[in-house]
Amino acid sequence: MANYGFYFDCNYCVGCRTCQIACKEIKKLAIGELFRTISDYETGSFPTPGYYHYSASCNHCAVPACLAACPEDAISKDPDNGIVTIDAKTCTACMACIEACPYDVPQVIAAKNTVAKCDFCKDLLAKGENPVCIDACPQFALEWGDIDELKAKYPGAVSDIPILPDSTMTYPSIIINPRPCALDKNFRSKHI
C-alpha cells in the first residue's frame, strides 16, 4: 500500500503564495477558505536574523486525528494511497475533526454546510496529473509521491520543525528540508 505525501523544501519557497492561490482557484473556495496556506516566520535578531515560509495543507496522516474524532464516519483514509477525505454528503459540520486536528486543517465550508480540506487533488491524480499546488510552484519547492519513497530520496528531510506539532501525534505524510533558521525554537509568526 502506498501512502501519498508531500515534500516541502523550505530553502526554495519564497512565500509567493502561488500554490495557495492555485488550490483556492481549482477548489472554487470562498473568501477566507483555504486548503493550502503559506505562513511566514522570523527567528533571531540583528545581526543574525532568519526568515522562512512554510506551505501547509492536509498532511494525510498515517493516524489521522480527524478520522478518529468524526462521529459520523464521514472521514476515510484510502487503503490504496493513504489520502484522507471527507464525504460532504455524510458530514454534519459538527466540527469534531476541526477540534481534533493538531494542524488546524479541516474547515467549515459555510455555503455547503460541511467541513472540507485538501483531498490531494484526487480528481487530477485519477487523470494522471499532479496536485495543482505542485505544478503551480514556480520555485519547485513542493513535490509529492509515496512518503516512503520521498524519505528515501531526501534522507536529510525531517517531519518535525518547531512550528509544527510533534509528528508522533498523527505521523503526518510530510517531510521538510528546513532552512537552518526553521529549526530555531524561538520563532515569531510574521503576517504579511
Q: Which three three-digit cell numbers place residue 187?
A: 520563532
Please give the pLDDT value at position 2: 84
Residue 190's pLDDT band (cuts 50, 70, 90): confident
Evaluate if residue 191 carries a pLDDT over 70.
no
> Residue 58: which of 76, 85, 79 has the closest Cα?
85
In this predicted model, what pLDDT tens digit does every residue of 132-178 receive, in sequence order?
A: 999 999 999 999 999 999 999 999 999 999 999 999 999 999 999 99
In this predicted model, what pLDDT tens digit does every residue of 50-60 receive, in sequence order?
A: 999 999 999 99
Mean pLDDT value across residues 34-44 = 96
In this predicted model, what pLDDT tens digit does every residue of 100-124 receive, in sequence order?
A: 999 999 999 989 999 999 999 999 9
Using alpha carbons only, give the angle 114, 167, 77 rounded to the nearest 5 degrees: 40
Gap between the Cα atoms of 157 and 135, Å rounded? 21
Element (H, E) at 69: helix 65-69
Please give the pLDDT value at position 108: 94
Gap between the Cα atoms of 136 and 28, Å rounded? 16
Please give the pLDDT value at position 192: 55
How does DSSP classify residue 183? G
**For the whole model, what pTM was predicted?**
0.94
Gap between the Cα atoms of 9 and 13, Å rounded? 7
Please give the pLDDT value at position 181: 96
Residue 26's pLDDT band (cuts 50, 70, 90): very high
- The answer to whether residues 86 and 100 touch, using CB atoms and an 8 Å cutoff, is no
Gap between the Cα atoms of 157 and 105, Å rounded? 22
Which CA distances in Å does 57 have to 1, 24, 105, 129, 133? 22, 12, 7, 18, 10
Q: Which three three-digit cell numbers place residue 39?
A: 505562513
In this predicted model, what pLDDT tens digit does every residue of 82-97 receive, in sequence order?
A: 999 999 999 999 999 9
The whole-chain average pLDDT of the chain stands at: 96
Bridging pattern class, strands 4-9 and 174-177: parallel
Q: Which three three-digit cell numbers place residue 52?
A: 522562512
